[in-house]
A and B are shown apart, each in its own frame.
Chain A
């Protein structure tokens, strides 16, 4: 079982370039999330999708857009990359939003913006 798959694993962008981070899960989960992880800051939620067809902002949404393409796929787009967006990005999924929901994470995308 693949679980949560993220592509690419590494990326270097120049300031102002755009890119899309892809995420797919094969666990038939309803909810999907995008987090960024920075040293000393922990994991911070960028956007989430509680179910297919819905998306909502998390703690740090500025500079990002998302698309819940179908139940399996949730993409994160940087329209005009900035050095402050250098980070490790994690996609996660969970079965539902109820109490005690278990989240499963991908391996991450390491993005550097120069």
Chain B
């Protein structure tokens, strides 16, 4: 079973601050995805990374896939209240149909 550990579990910051959340595993993934989930809604895909060392930017969000494809990070610059939500990482092993999800990081951005 491939496990994904996310840290921190909870994060509360002031508007305008920067933050990084982490997603780590002892397993290698062929791809890794980040989702954001708001209360009462399903997860919404933010990004997919597939190449070791890959960096993708989505406005104020920067995603990085580790060189060994075992870990990933999400960095948010100048957080805004609209960034509040549950951030989930999910990894897929080579040849697998299954996405393995981490337990998530619950982010609160205080105005």
Using a CB–CB distance below 8 Å, which chain A residues touch chain B? Answer: 4, 31, 33, 35, 40-45, 48, 50, 56, 58-59, 90, 92, 97, 99-108
Determine the chain B residues whose CB is within 8 A of the CB of A50 once the complex forms. Answer: 97
Cβ-defined partner of A99 (8 Å) among B42, B50, B88, B98: B50
Cβ of B48 and Cβ of A45 under 8 Å apart? no
CB distance from A44 to the nearest CB of B (A): 8
Per-position binary interface string of chain B over residues 4-40, scored 1 when its CB falls under 8 Å from any chain A CB and 0 otherwise: 0000000000000000000000000011010100001
Cβ of A105 and Cβ of B48 under 8 Å apart? no
Q: Is B43 an interface residue (CB 8 A)?
A: yes
Determine the chain A residues whose CB is within 8 A of the CB of B45 once the complex forms. Answer: 102-104
Cβ of B43 and Cβ of A90 under 8 Å apart? yes
CB distance from A47 to the nearest CB of B (A): 11
Interface positions, chain B 62-100, Cβ under 8 Å from A, are: 88, 90, 92, 94, 96-99
Determine the chain A residues whose CB is within 8 A of the CB of B44 once the complex forms. Answer: 105
Cβ of B48 and Cβ of A43 under 8 Å apart? no
